[in-house]
Amino acid sequence: MRWNLSPDDLPTAWFNVAPHLPAPLQPPLHPGTREPVGPDDLAPLFPMALIAQEMATEPTIDIPGPVLDILRLWRPTPLVRATRLEEALGTPARIYYKDESVSPAGSHKPNTAVPQAYYNKAEGTTRLTTETGAGQWGSALAFASTVFDLECMVYMVRASFEQKPYRRVLMETWGAQVTASPVDDPGHPGSLGTAISDAVRDAAGRDDSHYSLGSVLNHVLLHQTVIGLEAKEQLRLAGEHLPDVVIGSCGGGSNLGGISLPFVPDEGVRLVAVEPASCPTLTAGSFDYDFGDTAGLTPLLPMYTLGHEFVPPPIHAGGLRYHGDSPIISSLVKEGRMEAVAYPQSKVFEAAIQFARSQGSVPAPETSHAIRAVIDEALAAKEEGADRVILFNYSGHGLLDLSAYDDFLHGRLTD
């Protein structure tokens, strides 16, 4: 039921999807000139190594040794077959998941936090700023910063800062400083867009600081491909050839990209993005150039977007409340290589409870979006009497999201 790789089997190079995309990515644009941004435009915010990865065209990029040493604290992660869920559903489908919840921060996010902290340290930066929604990304970067001895300043969406104190405590435990965003408007509940503006403004104004983003950008998805690379190897050990379908929840696209990008060249493998019906970027947004933040400080990115001023309702899957999406994921959806579905949160929590009561583990609300789609795929396979191999990303656990379960179990959760 579980396939583990040894620490020596950790991939030593990331998978770059750029040469495999059905259409070349459009470049990010400078908001003033609408010309493609160059490395110098990005240098106040990011180290050169990450800027190079953002634009890289080579098929693989080596993972630095010090990064591998840290990733080996929890990687390779297990591939698990959800046999008890299969039995509960009575499906002929075989359901496998990659368990990214075993990382120190409890999600996939340290896979990119660690290399981002490493490259910043290597180029002389001593302080990182970032945004966080419910706190998953902030805690991942706080962990990575302490490992490489960097200061870490986290702007946390105010609604979460006030309602969900435990992620803040986790960040502070790893030595980060955490403040509520927007900093200049204490009555505003905040959003990922406002928090990105605060973090970018901070980093751009100080020589010792860089900014770090937990999703969306090409280098972030690149770092997450260790998930899909390991999964391919583990599926082989499980006696499977290729999955029929690969599923991930999609906020900015990093956990989905991590598990699915290594399968882009495998024609016939369906790739599915799952998003909330209340923040339906891929299923109801338009493909356009838009800012990554609310204040309009970032370059313009080619992506599906609901508009940078869109403030999503305060659903429990805070990590999926983003107006835009990764340009890579957006391009795959636009070109028809990836599908997208949206679910209301009540259907998502029904799936989460079914998973917890069959498999035991309690998934994060974000992860539960993927589980909803997995269950529906498995039920469709049952209807059709079809043999089907489903792979999904168990992006994180929900042990710091129990207030959401409390709301669902006691009838307080609305769509």
From the number of C-beta atoms within 10 Å of its C-beta (0-12, 13-18, 19+), residue 24 rates as exposed
Residue 107 contacts ligand PLP per CB under 6 A? yes
Distance (Å, whole) CA 381 – CA 406:
32
Distance (Å, whole) CA 173 – CA 243:
39
Q: Would you say 203 or 371 has its CB closer to ligand PLP? A: 371
Q: Would you say 312 or 396 has its CB closer to ligand PLP? A: 396
- Shortest reach from residue 283's CB to ligand PLP, in Å: 15
H or E element, residue 143: helix 136-147
- Give the residue, chosen from 91, 145, 215, 359, that forms a contact with ligand PLP under the rule CB under 6 A: 215
- Shortest reach from residue 367's CB to ligand PLP, in Å: 5
Where does this chain touch ligand PLP (CB under 6 A) — which range of 144-152, 171-179, 250-258, 297-305? 250-258
- Shortest reach from residue 345's CB to ligand PLP, in Å: 14
The 3-state DSSP class for residue 79 equals strand
Minimal CB distance to ligand PLP: which residue? 396
SS3 per residue for 151-211: EEEEEEEHHHHHHCHHHHHHHHHCCCEEEEECCCCCCCCCCHHHHHHHHHHHHHCCCCEEE
Interface with ligand PLP in residues 145-184 (CB under 6 A): none
Distance (Å, whole) CA 113 – CA 136:
11
Q: Nearest-5° angle of CA 129, CA 133, CA 134?
A: 120
Using CB under 6 A as the criterion, what x/- string covers residues 270-309 for binding ligand PLP?
Answer: ----------------------------------------
- Give the residue, chosen from 28, 193, 319, 327, that forms a contact with ligand PLP under the rule CB under 6 A: 319
- Give the residue, chosen from 75, 94, 98, 109, that forms a contact with ligand PLP under the rule CB under 6 A: 109
H or E element, residue 13: strand 13-15
- Give the residue, chosen from 91, 181, 294, 367, that forms a contact with ligand PLP under the rule CB under 6 A: 367
Q: Which is nearest to 343 in space by CA: 330, 352, 332, 334? A: 352
With tokens 């709301």, the residue in question is: 407
Residue 252 contacts ligand PLP per CB under 6 A? yes
Residue 249 contacts ligand PLP per CB under 6 A? yes
Where does this chain touch ligand PLP (CB under 6 A) — which range of 30-38, 88-96, 175-183, 252-260? 252-260
Distance (Å, whole) CA 114 – CA 117:
5
Contacts of 94 (CB under 8 A, 6+ apart): 81, 86, 240, 387, 388, 389, 390
Residue 251 contacts ligand PLP per CB under 6 A? yes
- Give the residue, chosen from 366, 374, 391, 404, that forms a contact with ligand PLP under the rule CB under 6 A: 366
- Give the residue, chosen from 395, 404, 405, 408, that forms a contact with ligand PLP under the rule CB under 6 A: 395
Residue 327 contacts ligand PLP per CB under 6 A? no
Give the binding site for ligand PLP (CB under 6 A). Answer: 107, 109, 136-137, 215, 249-256, 319-320, 364, 366-367, 395-396
